[in-house]
Amino acid sequence: MLLRKFCLILLLLPLASAFVFPQTAGLVDDRNMATNDGTANSTDFYFDLLNPSLAGNSVVIGYTYASTTAAVTISDNESNTWTKTTTCNDGTHSYDTAYVIGATVGTLRIHFHLSAAVGDFQAHATQLSNVTGVDGSSCTAGQTGPSIVAGSITATQTNDLFFAYAADGAGFCCTNIVTSFVPGTSFNLLPNDRRQGTVAELRLYGSTGALNPSMTINQASHDTFGMVGVAFKSGASGTVPSGIWDYCSGEDHPNATAYVMQAPCPAPVPINLIVAPTNDAPTYNVFTAPTDSDSNSYSGVTVSGLYPYIFYAQNATFGSSNSRTMTWHNANSSTEAVEYDAIGGADTSAFDGSAQNTGSQSAVSGASCTNSSAVNSTITITPSTNRAGIAFAVEGNGTGPECNTSGTNTVYDEMWYSGETDNDTPNYTASGYGHLTYTTNSPQTLTWNWANNTESGWNNTIAAFKAGPGPSPPTGLVGNASAK
């Protein structure tokens, strides 16, 4: 009998191994970025992905800028080769996407270099898993809303992941505020900026044949938009994150006493923590706790009554990504920026301590981005619990800008361009956002690098949030510790 059972198992093993479950592409993380207007042009733009890339994952960036002739070169801290898709322009602004299939582990810092100085540079960066190639792309510019399209793309296989990016052709300075973005049929909205008019969407297409990514953009007066789409082939490749993870991040620029921002995050796992830093300057006392369409309750983090604030909602309900909103309550119509980050895998009581620091920063000769103790500012936190987690930091300043972070496993959550000055437009802040990941309760330091031609006072706040019991965060999170 024993021999007979053993033989039966041997016969069944090859049959079981014949069942292969298809791997479909999916979202790993996503962030929306916005930078200068047409009066403060630059040739070089820098920003970080939301997280360093995990093994085998791919990255796609949608972007726009105010030129139809400037050539674009894209590089990063891991020397990946970037491939551009279909470019279009409306006579003033160009629209495109670029991607890396199977980016090198730890890809983080992205550098866009243009052959001529441009303004209105915007970017939207998304990390994807289980992507093996591109199945087509399209681009259409100069469309007057509310309905816009990217152009038809023919999927040659099932389960293509369609990414589409759109931006307002009126430019950073003159955009009519978007009252709402409505994604196309079966698309999920990604983080966006209603004031600057940038947005992206994502859809897994369970069929073959033509699909035309579309979006409805509601404005009091309709601007022209450009929209670019790309279809990615699904297949077994890459790494799905585990443990605590920042799945998406959006930023907007309130200048009203009650400002509504759309706050989507179609993450593959349930979100259970929302963290919302504010670039509230030390003397403004601008923001009170936000409210949202899911009726979450937000707690404020500050030290000794100083600013800026970090708000968070624990055990958050996270409703439809296409209709979820967050309302910022603003006491004096300041233009200070706000951010939200949607976290999965956090502990059910995740808050793990906070700290604050204040000081002054010397001028940087030439306003280059410098990692130097003579001009840097820092914030250090020691988490209360010996468990992995994420710490979020925000810094307000008298005169900026900050340009990068340095330190182990740190990520810079703003965009910087060479030649940037403080508050170079009415809707842009030159203060700092950043975050870091950690695995133990040893002291964690985030250092702000500056690109500032004047001295400045600053104060910053950091808050730590621990992971829930379970697997540690993915390995290979290589922080950006070098200056440009």
Amino acid at 238: G
Structurally, how many domains does the chain consist of?
A: 2
Report if residue 49 sits inside a domain.
yes
Shared domain check, 227 and 261: no
**End residue of a domain, out of 210, 234, 258:** 234
- Whether the pLDDT of residue 424 is over 70: the answer is no
Shared domain check, 281 and 169: no
Amino acid at 15: L
Position of tokens 């866009």? 112
Report if residue 21 sits inside a domain.
no
Kindly report the number of other CB atoms within 10 A of residue 367's CB atom.
18
**End residue of a domain, out of 182, 215, 234:** 234
Shared domain check, 257 and 210: no
Shared domain check, 222 and 250: no
Give residue-wise pLDDT tens across range 50-109: 999 999 999 999 999 999 999 999 999 999 999 999 999 999 999 999 999 999 999 999
Helix (H) or strand (E) holding 232: strand 224-234
Shared domain check, 69 and 43: yes
With vertex at residue 300, the alpha carbon angle to CA 299 and CA 301, rounded to the nearest 5 degrees, is 125
Report if residue 480 sits inside a domain.
no
Mean pLDDT in residue range 127-156: 97
d(CA 357, CA 380): 8
Mean pLDDT in residue range 335-341: 83
Backbone phi, psi, residue 367, to 5°: 55, 35
- Whether the pLDDT of residue 283 is over 80: the answer is no
Give the pLDDT confidence score for residue 1 in this predicted structure.
39
| DSSP letter for each residue of 102-153 | SPPTT--EEEEEEEEEE---EEEEEEEESEEEEEEEEEEEEEESSEEE---E
Give the pLDDT confidence score for residue 280 in this predicted structure.
66
Mean pLDDT in residue range 111-120: 95
Give residue-wise pLDDT tens across range 182-196: 999 999 999 999 988
Report if residue 451 sits inside a domain.
yes
Give the pLDDT confidence score for residue 37 in this predicted structure.
62
In what order do the strands lie in the sheet containing 198-205?
131-144, 224-234, 160-168, 198-205, 188-189
**End residue of a domain, out of 215, 234, 253:** 234
Kindly report the number of other CB atoms within 10 A of residue 419's CB atom.
16
Range of lowest pLDDT (14-18, 128-132, 248-252, 354-358): 14-18
**pTM for this predicted structure:** 0.91
Mean pLDDT in residue range 286-312: 86
d(CA 188, CA 163): 10
Shared domain check, 86 and 112: yes
The boundaries of the domain holding residue 281 are 245-467
